Amino acid sequence: MMRVRVFDTASRLARAAARDVARALRANPRLVLGLPTGRTPIPLYDEIVRLHGAGRASFRRATTFNLDEFLGLDGRDPRSYRAFMQRHLFDHVDLTARRIHFLNGTVRDVAAECERYERAIRRAGGIDLQLLGLGTNGHIGFNEPARA
């Protein structure tokens, strides 16, 4: 059952959500996380990095799948969401590169890439915890309101 919590500041939300992620990692060190990008989750990632530095969160055995990527951008491009995640989270925690999964933004066959990604998620056992950020207009990922 979903529990809705309301916070009066973004920093309080980030602290509570980071504690939830840390708790989930302790309960299941092999946790499979779905992760968002954009401005919304940056305070959350900052707080997760802080908890990791304090020894309260380990990603050593966790696996991640990112929600989105820009089509046409190589993961090494500083504008890519892969680079974003490296800067804001992955460079600061003990997650191994082989457990980090992204859509490939440079493929020609987008449908085949989506199928490959879905298979990888299934092989990992599905996503245990999906983090999402809602944009100011209510969008999730690149799914804009009244367009998805």
Model confidence pLDDT, tens digit, residues 16-48? 999 999 999 999 999 999 999 988 899 999 999
Any domain includes 125:
yes
Three-class SS of residue 116?
helix
Any domain includes 61:
yes
From 131, 37, 137, select the one nearest 81 (Cα to Cα). Answer: 37
Instruction: Kindly list the strands in the beta sheet with 100-101, ordered across the sheet, starting from the edge strand earlier in the chain.
Output: 100-101, 63-66, 32-35, 129-130
Using an 8 Å Cβ cutoff, are 137 and 103 in contact? no
Any domain includes 69:
yes
45-87 pLDDT, tens digit each: 999 999 999 999 999 999 999 999 999 998 899 999 999 999 9
CA 31 vs. chain centroid, Å, equals 12
Catalytic residue set: 68, 137, 139, 144
Any domain includes 138:
no
With 70 as the cut, is the pLDDT of residue 147 above it?
no
Expressed as residue numbers, the domain containing 83 is 10-130
Any domain includes 142:
no
Any domain includes 135:
no
Three-class SS of residue 32?
strand
- Looking at every residue in the chain, the average pLDDT score rounds to 93
Any domain includes 89:
yes
pLDDT of residue 3: 84
107-141 pLDDT, tens digit each: 999 999 999 999 999 999 999 999 987 777 887 77
CA atoms of 107 and 26, how far apart (whole Å) = 36
Could you tell me the CATH number of the domain that includes residue 94? 3.40.50.1360
Any domain includes 52:
yes
CA atoms of 75 and 26, how far apart (whole Å) = 30
Tokens of 118: 């879905």
Number of domains the chain contains: 1
